[in-house]
Amino acid sequence: MKQRMIYIAAAAALVLCGCSSSSAQDDSGAGLAIVDNGGASYNVYVSPYVYPEFLKEITGADSSLNLSSVSFEPSMVTEVKTQPFENYECTFTYPGLYIYTQDGFEGVLDSDGNVVIAADTFAKAELLSPTLIKLYLYEGMDEYIIADISDKNKPEMINSYKFQPSRIKTVQRKTEESDKVLTYLEVGGVPVGSTGYDSVIQKDLSELPEGIDCKRAYTVTKDGAYYIVTFDEYYNYTIYEGTYSKVSLNIGGQAGSCSIMSYEDDLEAKSLIDSFSKMEDTVDKKDDDDYISFEFGVYGEDKYVVTLYSSGKYISQGLKDGKDFYESAKVDRRCFGDLVKWVDTVVSQEYKHEKIDS
């Protein structure tokens, strides 16, 4: 996080310094910037911009959603290396659960070593979720039942398991600090994560971005941020932060695009662009001009596009603050390079897919 903040601060400094009112610069990147508050002028060197390398590595699915958290996945079940209990031989563990073997059968223990499912009937036990376990009757044969251990003292054996959307419900509660009402998602009465949302709307599965396979999905918002919560057939949930805006650019004939999937980054992009000192449009766009374009409002009410060319030509149009508009202006040429660098240093961090707690 500290490194990310350094990136943001550096990029912001470039834009705020390099995009104040200034005289024309030559192709070397050197220019004379003039402080807007009437202070002394100073020389600023702006290094040449380059096509962001991370754009060459991302796929269409990568550029649609930013993985935030996952409640369960098979990799969370790990091999036991040190036996935790004296009387049982454990093979695999998941937080709060152990799979153990006895006389050729497998069963399940809780974290205190209490038997949840005895190892006397089933050849194999496989965790499907924190509360659902697939129990195979015979080794190597696809004959099984599913146990629901939501109540560890009384597991429910299910012969014909079927996903039931009605188990997923929304519940509204007032916050302790105020009278604000938040909406929570629950599965079988168990909260999904620890976060309540300002809004929760069921999403049509056909409208989900590429790469998502699930049984149920919801669009949720929290303090302006936008997420998609999905559930698989075993009610395991995955939370993605949704797409806020799209960036497209062309540098030296090399085209690429990505999405801004962080609410904070989306706000910063708008602030940086709004900070540009604009002058009367005296620039003619050339076909071979490099350009960078921000399509804001993939989620949200405002939907507008800002395009900046390497020549300094600036075009903004669409719906903003409830009104249609079109604006054409000239900005300092260094603003173009600074925006490219901002995408390369800040937005690129979103594509590292580091998971965070829900």
Spatial distance between the Cα atoms of 270 and 274, rounded to a whole number of angstroms: 6
Q: Which pLDDT belongs to residue 237?
A: 95
Q: Which pLDDT belongs to residue 7?
A: 42
Q: Which pLDDT belongs to residue 63?
A: 58
Domain residue extents for the chain: 2-64+244-352, 74-158, 164-241
Mean pLDDT of the chain, nearest integer: 83
Query: Which strand (E) or helix (H) includes residue 93?
Result: strand 89-94
Spatial distance between the Cα atoms of 124 and 235, rounded to a whole number of angstroms: 22
pLDDT of 216 > 50? The answer is yes
Tokens of 87: 């009387």
Q: For residue 76, what is the DSSP state?
A: G
Q: 14-18, 55-59, 277-281 — which one is most confidently predicted on average?
A: 277-281
SS3 148: strand
Query: What's the mean pLDDT in 84-91?
Result: 95
More confident residue, 7 or 82: 82
Q: How confident is the model at residue 179 (pLDDT cuts 50, 70, 90)?
A: confident
Q: Which pLDDT belongs to residue 62?
A: 59
Q: CA 273 → CA 17, 85, 303, distances in Å?
A: 13, 61, 15
Query: What's the mean pLDDT in 79-100?
Result: 96
Least confident of 51-55, 111-115, 190-194: 190-194
Query: What's the mean pLDDT in 79-93?
Result: 96
Spatial distance between the Cα atoms of 309 and 290, rounded to a whole number of angstroms: 6
Q: Which pLDDT belongs to residue 300?
A: 77
* Residue labelled with tokens 């009757």: 137
Q: Which pLDDT belongs to residue 280?
A: 92
% of the chain beyond a pLDDT of 90: 61
Q: Which pLDDT belongs to residue 353?
A: 54
Query: What's the mean pLDDT in 272-282?
Result: 93
Spatial distance between the Cα atoms of 16 and 159, rounded to a whole number of angstroms: 64
Rounded to 10 deg, the angle between the 2-18 and 334-345 helix axes is 170
pLDDT of 336 > 50? The answer is yes
Query: What's the mean pLDDT in 258-287?
Result: 90
pLDDT of 118 > 50? The answer is yes
Q: Which pLDDT belongs to residue 53?
A: 92
Pairing of strands 89-94, 66-70: unpaired
More confident residue, 123 or 15: 123
| Cβ 329 vs Cβ 311: under 8 Å | no
pLDDT in tens, 293-307: 999 998 777 899 999
Spatial distance between the Cα atoms of 253 and 306, rounded to a whole number of angstroms: 20
Query: What's the mean pLDDT in 20-46?
Result: 36
pLDDT in tens, 38-80: 333 334 444 578 999 999 887 665 556 777 889 999 999 999 9
pTM of the model: 0.72
% of the chain beyond a pLDDT of 70: 83
pLDDT in tens, 220-238: 999 888 899 999 999 999 9
**Helical H segments across the chain, by residue range:** 2-18, 263-274, 334-345
